[in-house]
Structure 1
């Protein structure tokens, strides 16, 4: 315990947040984290445990009293000595910062993330170890390296797939009416099988765009309104919580509800920390909502919320009388002939599912979901997601096409630009509809621009984020 201390828990919940792409400047969120870290350094070197404690948010202070933290700081942290130098080494998903910190008596990795009030949410000390060297032998690929695009893709993909903790990577590009699939690595470490356009991956939060399409479908069908208060669809025992007043269905899908990223009682349901959402039920979600208080006033601030989209999905299930999987199949994947997109895979498809690997490159569990499935439960392939991208770029005049078109209408522009589920991001001055996804063993990226007639899908069976791959390729392909 002397060399490791986590202010929140031994298990960090990495939540996906909106990608902020800049050419050289820090993102706004990174600037906030750096500012807090500077205060951490000041108070740490002054051995002021109370001041450090006051930098922490409600979640931490709920778990640690000021006296308990002071005892840990005095006995375990301050003996490390003064903080001399610190270097930011990574900033995962625009959320979790890792600093290599040189103390007088040790070198440590310090992990920091902030809550919605810019207070410390995670604060973890671990002994620093040199990163595992990248792979030296070139990872196999089907990339023929013949065209300019081939070489541009390889330049970006190599930086990703040669990392020690990555295993497989499949990239689908649709440009000027032509589709190209690039395959790198393996579907399972050591099996020498390239992932292809029909390999199943977890797609994580790209699932939210499907949930958004379901919402838009039911809005156009007159079954719900974007302005409907959520209390209209909640049990009376939950709806009596006046703190929920003012939250609408629109707030849930564009992340302006004020609800937290995940409910505080999620951890209580975990039977396996590597499969965090599996046992979180609707009953537990309603129990949390009975007493919860939104962090911000609904509609005023963007704050990414898995809970919000999960709740929206539960409401749509109540309205339709169908499960999330049934809604997705009947309204989206079946009409679009997306035969390889679902929450649960047919056993015959299991051999096509890529094994998944954690941040250290160790094989881990694919996630399972209960009530929060609408925020991240779908599995899909590059081929299916390219088909999905194509209809998003050119939606038809039928009911599904009209629903998809509605998801593209901008609903919020403060700090981020977002429609229904889809975020709008700039790459080299060109706006793309975008979403990414991440679990403990998978990463995904999807973006498209109809005017440029370009779409890209990047799927990986490793935790390592694919945002740099997707954005990097777009930056080279489209000027």
Structure 2
């Protein structure tokens, strides 16, 4: 469930005085960082930064970065491998549970950290893959464009398969590349099913809009109306309570992720939400402190969206899976989308591979399903985006309306971006350890794009390149 920002790198803001490299100190400090990181003593790592570095980044910003952008995705650190030394820093490969990062490190004359930077590092061979399969006939201009756009992605050996759907002025185009399972030569199809991760959130937003249009709930309802009575006085601050709409537009003040994820029974770092059920979620909810006043700050929260899904289940007395099928999929004709796949659908489910190219299990999210638990295919997602473009349904139209524009412009889960061409892109992306996704549409141009991959490498650059072309 990736944070929906358009990014290509995990990179820590760094400060460096371009001092002489101190190899001995760097080796010792790298070892300290490993130990403290695995003990989750991030504040102690911060103490190791020199004063100039600390002026550039507060302790809270530093800890938030480590927690949200490194630990969330990479998990535990197995070891640092000393790679080489440059004039002003040493380089290490950090071998984490879910992949690798390149760390650049240097210390000053007092042994304090003057440079600390994390960059992507691929453990796979650097040899480009050039013989990947594709159904792109390379006849039309858009065929050639797509083939060019995906080249870097598909030539990267850690990536596996890719399905793209494009809608432009009433015409659909589908393109598939690579493999649905490595070393099988099984080319994906428009019916190949992928995890769609946080794209699930827009389905949750539409379900909230549906509940509002059906008079089942109000956007301004206190969420505690739908939770066990008297147990959550902490979900209010300065007489401001969390409303349903705050869960949908990420202004609830709830943290990004539950802090007790690892305390669940049978915790699996490769399938981290597997045993995190509604009972654990609701118990945790009674203990947390809000990070901000509800409605004040837009701060992306998987926890908040997962909770909204639980509340919608209580409103309708149906599971999130059942609601998505009844309210969205069946009316549109989406036959390969859901949380639980049928045995037949399972035969179309692509195997997932993490950002290092290693096979990884599909995620299960029993307590946070609405945050990232859906699976779908390019064909279904094109139908979904076309219906969103039409805006003939009252709930769909409502779900597109901006409810907060405080740095991030957000509707009911959808993110809204003004493009350089002056158009409005309504979009969301997603990711699990073994899949990445992007979907978006531009009403002014009557166009839409979906990109699905069974690799952990983000597909945002591909989708955005296609959208730039469609605006010309």
TM-score of the aligned structures, taking structure 1 as reference length? 0.78
Q: 2:416, 2:426 within 8 Å by CA — same for their partners in 1? A: yes
Corresponding residue of 1:387: 383
Two-structure CA RMSD over aligned residues (Å): 3.6
The answer (yes or no) to whether the contact 2:100–2:122 under 8 Å persists in 1 is no
Any gaps of 5 or more consecutive residues in structure 1? 1-14, 65-75, 90-95, 113-124
Structure 2 residue 70 is matched with structure 1 residue 84: no
CA separation of 1:409 and 1:84: change in aligned 2, threshold 3 A: same
* Pair 1:99–1:360, CA change in 2 (3 A): closer
Q: Is the 8 A contact 2:133 2:178 kept in 1?
A: yes
Q: 1:292: how far off? A: 0.7
1:428 aligns with one of 420, 433, 440: 420
> How far does residue 19 in structure 1 lie from its aligned partner after superposition?
2.5
- What does residue 406 of structure 1 align with? 398
Deviation string, structure 1 residues 421-440 (Cα, Å, up to 9, x no partner) = 11012443332110111000
Aligned equivalent of 2:218: 225
* Alpha-carbon shift at residue 243 of structure 1 (Å): 3.8
Q: 1:237 to 1:278 in 2, by over 3 A?
A: farther
Structure 2 gaps, min length 5: 20-24, 30-43, 68-79, 94-98, 108-114
1:294 aligns with 2:290: yes
Q: Are residue 247 (structure 1) and residue 224 (structure 2) matched? A: no
- 1:237–1:82: structure 2 CA closer, same or farther, 3 Å change rule? farther
1:170 deviates by: 0.6
Contact 2:274 2:365 in 1 (8 A): yes
Give the 5 Å matches for 1:428-447: 428-429=420-421, 430-447=423-440
What is the CA deviation profile of residues 321-353 of structure 1, one whole-angstrom value per residue up to 9, with x for unaligned ones? 111111111111111111111101100121111
**SS at structure 1 position matched to 2:172:** strand
Partner of 1:263: 258
- Secondary structure of 1:413 counterpart: strand
Residue of structure 1 equivalent to 2:278: 282
Distance 2:460 2:372 in 1: 17
Distance change (3 Å), C-alpha of 1:220 and 1:20: same
Deviation of residue 49 (structure 1)?
Answer: 6.2
Counterparts of 1:283 and 1:41, CA distance in 2: 52
Contact 1:251–1:299, Cα closer than 8 Å, also in 2: yes
Q: Aligned equivalents of 2:90 and 2:251: distance in 1?
A: 34
Map of 2:4 onto structure 1: 18
Q: Is residue 83–residue 103 contact of structure 1 (8 Å, CA) maintained in 2? A: no
Q: Secondary structure at the match of 2:331?
A: coil
**2:201·2:413 contact (CA, 8 Å) conserved in 1?**
yes
The question of whether the paired residues in 2 share the 8 Å contact of 1:86 and 1:99 is answered with no
Residue in 2 that maps onto 1:312 = 308
Pair 476,381 (structure 1): closer, same or farther in 2 beyond 3 Å: same
Task: Find the counterpart in structure 1 of residue 467 from structure 2.
Answer: 474
Instruction: Quote the residue 1:178 is aligned against.
Output: 171
* Residue among 372, 375, 381 paired with 2:371: 375
Whether the aligned pair in 1 keeps the contact of 2:445 and 2:470 (CA below 8 Å) is no
Q: Distance in 2 between matches of 1:242 and 1:50?
A: 30
CA 1:333/1:294 → structure 2, altered by over 3 Å: closer, same or farther? Answer: same
1:227 deviation in Å? 0.7
5 Å-filtered alignment, 1:39-438, equals 51-52=47-48, 56-57=59-60, 84-85=88-89, 100-101=103-104, 103=106, 132-241=125-234, 243=236, 245-269=240-264, 271-396=267-392, 401-429=393-421, 430-438=423-431
Offset of 1:198 from its aligned partner? 0.4
> Displacement, 1:86?
8.1
1:84-129 per-position Cα deviation (integer Å, ceiling 9, x unaligned): 2489x9xxxxxx995541658xxxx9776xxxxxxxxxxxx99x78
Preserved CA contact (<8 Å) 1:267 1:276: yes
TM-superposition CA deviations, 1:32-66 (whole Å, max 9, x none): x42xx228999x98x896633785449969x99xx
2:354–2:455 CA contact under 8 A, matched in 1: yes
Cα distance in 2, alignment partners of residues 129 and 178 from structure 1:
38
Q: Which moved more, 1:50-59 or 1:300-309?
A: 50-59
For residues 123 and 16 of structure 2, the distance between their equivalents in structure 1, rounded to whole angstroms, comes to 26
Provide the rounded CA distance (Å) in 1 between the counterparts of 2:467 and 2:458.
16
Q: Distance in 1 between matches of 2:279 and 2:436?
A: 29
- Deviations, residues 131-151 of structure 1 (Å, cap 9, x unaligned): 631434231111111111111
Q: What's the offset of the Cα at 1:457?
A: 0.6
Distance 1:271 1:466 in 2: 28
- Count of residue correspondences: 416
The change in CA–CA distance for 1:129 and 1:186 in structure 2 (over 3 A counts) is closer
TM-score after normalising by structure 2: 0.79
Matched residue SS, 2:187: coil
3-state DSSP class of the match of 1:236? coil
